Amino acid sequence: MDHKHITDDPEIGNKAEAYEAFDDIPTNPNLEATIGDVINARYGRRDLLRGMLGVSAAASLFGSSALIAPQRALAADARNSRYRFDELTQGNDQTHHIAAGYDAEVLLRWGDPITADAPEFDVMNQSAAAQLQQFGYNNDYVGFTPLNEQGTRGLLCVNHEYTNEEVMFPGLGRQDKQGFAGMTKELIDIEMAAHGGTVVEIARDAAGKWSLVRNSAYNRRITPLHTEMIIDGPAAGHKRMQTKTDATGKAVIGTLNNCAGGMTPWGTWLMAEENFHGYFWTDNRDSNGKADLSAHADTASKKRYGIPSGWYAWGQYYDRFNIDKDPNESNRFGWVVEVDPRSPNSKPVKHTALGRFRHEGCETTISTTGKLVVYMGDDNRFDYQYKYVSNGTVSRSGGANSELLSDGTLYVARFDADGTVHWLPLVHGEGPLTAENGFASQADVLIDTRLAADALGATPMDRPEDAQPRGDGTAYIMLTNNTRRKTDQINAANPRAKNAFGHIIEIKEEAGDHAATSGTWSILVSCGDPDLAEVGAQWNPQTSESGWFSSPDNCAFDAQGRLWIATDQGRKWGKTGKSDGLYALETEGDLRGHSKLFFRCPVGAELCGPYFTEDSETLFLAVQHPGTDGTKSLKGFARASTFEDPATRWPDFDPKMPPRPSVLVVTKTGGGKIAF
């Protein structure tokens, strides 16, 4: 792909948007195999060519009530909803908004000191040493594990996905447009120190207010700059995992692009490594900027993952991020990392048994027979939905449970047109996963998870983001969008061509058992504006004008097992005119498919987290990259943000401070359970 072409596009306002556009190019070569798929047999080609499902097909998916055009109110009438709050009105402006009767307070901001001796944040004089003791950038996943029975003390675990240099550092501007000429090693070290994760102890006082316990011994940063990690599982030690600095293939420094994640039943934290390809560099590019991989032994593997992409200039200063100098380091990223937050000196572990791809999330549950099950999406256009099932069972006694993440079976999903889903095992020697096809061992199958899943005939999806399993054998899969899907590439589970707004699939595993190798699936909602026929959206007709959404991304259950959805529309939020936010989405009964707006972000941000404490009295939300995405669509601003001139200075609104990614804590005013 021609980088220069992408970064010079005047519609694109920042680096993250530029690489989102670059990443619009799918790497899955198997799309031909799905052409026409069974959707044609099930619904008929004519309906599909009209850009929406036919009446009979839609009725069979959503019930006939979904087809009656409602008089859409601006906000929902809450009386029938199981979620008890007055709906927030949609919009987009410089600050966040929450439904009446709730408080959303800033708990942690980028740069906040998290250890007793950490320096105060000085945005004009940043250093890597300071950042290693301060809250990182672009908070994404948030998890919580209590330290006492009342749940008034606990450890907050937060992923820091990536950095935006043009709003983070003064005077730099868009570095992707100038070959990263302004990126010194000093700045790169700060970027690296701002990636990764944070563990902090937090406590709730008698008045119900949560705050950081700054002198807690648990507080730590995990980064790609300084954190030693262990590689375990079937790929550990394999020659493709060995590098210039690590002959064992079992030790690696750090983790990066940690997007969504999960907490295990035994209180450890799983960090998903998502867009790892973006950190690998090459000096061997042609005049169009295209990487020359001809000297590499694993060209097909690197191409399938999009390596190298050169989103960051780390490879100019660190040989391990330059594939010309250390071709195997990229094999040591793209995994799920387990951290024990109760053991602040413990080395995090990369569990290769869970596969290598652009891991979006890794939410866990326990099967009916006590096995650990992890649902994981591979966030790329036309990539796949996975799950992992342990061989052993979860015990109540902590530590030994981590072995469950080293010994088990990884599966990839095939969604059939008859409404069944089949989980195909990625096991060396089974089916096409043999030496003749390039998989000499289970290590090869896992290092090349995508190629193995291609060989098995998995269903190419519309960008699988987070997935959330519920204890009853149900799981919800967020398909955020995929405008690259052509009409002849649709399939039953991804039925819209040019899917700009995404959809959500509900899986019901066989006999309610998350370890089952098959189940049934249905589409819970097809997102976008229900009043525009060409969008082909499907919502419960009682959904208000404020309630429908686009681009589902992260999700969570509350204490009642009710589903909440966080959105990420990227630079295209102007298409809906709505900020990203948090929505309460009904999955049961007459209101199935009914959505209601609870919280919305400041302009340019996406919403991550969300995480409910077990008592449902506290909700953590992560507001990521405020003031950046699509700010050309903000009326009265209409330009790209920079450090000096951002679209918002949320949350401080201090004229000397740029916008700061922050974690918010949401409580009901005066106390009580949220939305009960």
Under rule CB under 6 A, residue 17 binds ligand FEO: no
Q: Which of residues 134-193 bind Ca ion (CB under 5 A)?
A: none
**Contact stretch for Ca ion (CB under 5 A) within 150-158, 225-233, 426-434, 548-556:** 548-556
Residues 107-146: x where in contact with ligand FEO by CB under 6 A, - otherwise, as a string: ----------------------------------------
Under rule CB under 5 A, residue 47 binds Ca ion: no
Instruction: For residue 197, give the nearest of 174, 171, 219 by alpha carbon.
Output: 219
Question: How far is residue 503's CA from residue 463's CA, in Å, rounded to a whole number?
Answer: 10
Residue 37 or 161: the one with the smaller Cβ distance to ligand FEO is 161
Q: How many residues bind ligand FEO (CB under 6 A)?
A: 6
Question: How far is residue 579's CA from residue 597's CA, in Å, rounded to a whole number?
Answer: 11
Among 37, 161, 329, 454, binds ligand FEO (CB under 6 A): 161
| 580 interface partner picked from ligand FEO, Ca ion, none, CB below 5 to 8 A per type | none
**Contact stretch for Ca ion (CB under 5 A) within 39-47, 285-293, 332-340, 546-554:** 546-554
Instruction: For residue 469, give the nearest of 437, 428, 507 by alpha carbon.
Output: 507
Decide: residue 513, CB within 10 A, 0-12 exposed, 13-18 middle, 19+ buried: middle
Report the greatest alpha carbon distance in the chain.
Answer: 67
Amino acid at 14: N
Instruction: For residue 476, give the nearest of 517, 523, 516 by alpha carbon.
Output: 523
Q: Which of residues 326-365 bind ligand FEO (CB under 6 A)?
A: 360
Q: How many residues bind Ca ion (CB under 5 A)?
A: 2
For residue 525, the minimal CB distance to ligand FEO (Å) is 19
Question: How far is residue 512's CA from residue 435's CA, in Å, rounded to a whole number?
Answer: 36
Residue 231 or 259: the one with the smaller Cβ distance to Ca ion is 259
For residue 274, the minimal CB distance to ligand FEO (Å) is 5
Residue 140 or 191: the one with the smaller Cβ distance to Ca ion is 140
Closest chain position to ligand FEO (CB): 259
Distance of CA 396 to the CA centre of its chain: 29
**Contact stretch for Ca ion (CB under 5 A) within 36-44, 112-120, 539-547, 552-560:** 552-560
Residue 61 or 362: the one with the smaller Cβ distance to Ca ion is 362
Among 176, 553, 580, 629, binds Ca ion (CB under 5 A): 553
Among 274, 326, 363, 586, binds ligand FEO (CB under 6 A): 274
Backbone torsions φ then ψ of 42, nearest 5 degrees: -85, -40
Distance set, CA 671 to CA 101, 525, 650, 674 (Å):
10, 32, 26, 9
Question: How far is residue 127's CA from residue 131's CA, in Å, rounded to a whole number?
Answer: 6
What DSSP line would sit under 159-175, residue for residue?
Answer: EE----HHHHSTT---S
Residue 377 or 495: the one with the smaller Cβ distance to ligand FEO is 377
Beta carbons of 277 and 315 less than 8 angstroms apart: no
Under rule CB under 6 A, residue 465 binds ligand FEO: yes
Q: Where are the alpha helices (DSSP H) in 385-458?
A: 442-447, 449-456
Among 176, 338, 340, 379, binds ligand FEO (CB under 6 A): 379
For residue 144, the minimal CB distance to ligand FEO (Å) is 20
Under rule CB under 6 A, residue 601 binds ligand FEO: no
Structure token digits, residue 588: 């049961």
Structure token digits, residue 166: 């043009």
**Contact stretch for Ca ion (CB under 5 A) within 192-200, 253-261, 453-461, 589-597:** 253-261
Question: How far is residue 391's CA from residue 406's CA, in Å, rounded to a whole number?
Answer: 9
Q: Which of residues 470-499 bind ligand FEO (CB under 6 A)?
A: none
What DSSP line would sit under 477-495, residue for residue?
Answer: EEE--BTT--GGG-BTTB-
Under rule CB under 6 A, residue 454 binds ligand FEO: no
Under rule CB under 6 A, residue 462 binds ligand FEO: no
Closest chain position to Ca ion (CB): 553
The helix (run of H) or strand (run of E) holding residue 461 is none
Under rule CB under 6 A, residue 617 binds ligand FEO: no
DSSP β-bridge partners for residue 390: 408
End-to-end CA distance of the chain: 50
C-alpha torsion sign, points 353, 354, 359, 362 = negative
| 161 interface partner picked from Ca ion, ligand FEO, none, CB below 5 to 8 A per type | ligand FEO
For residue 259, the minimal CB distance to ligand FEO (Å) is 3
Give residues in contact with ligand FEO (CB under 6 A): 161, 259, 274, 360, 379, 465
Give residues in contact with Ca ion (CB under 5 A): 259, 553
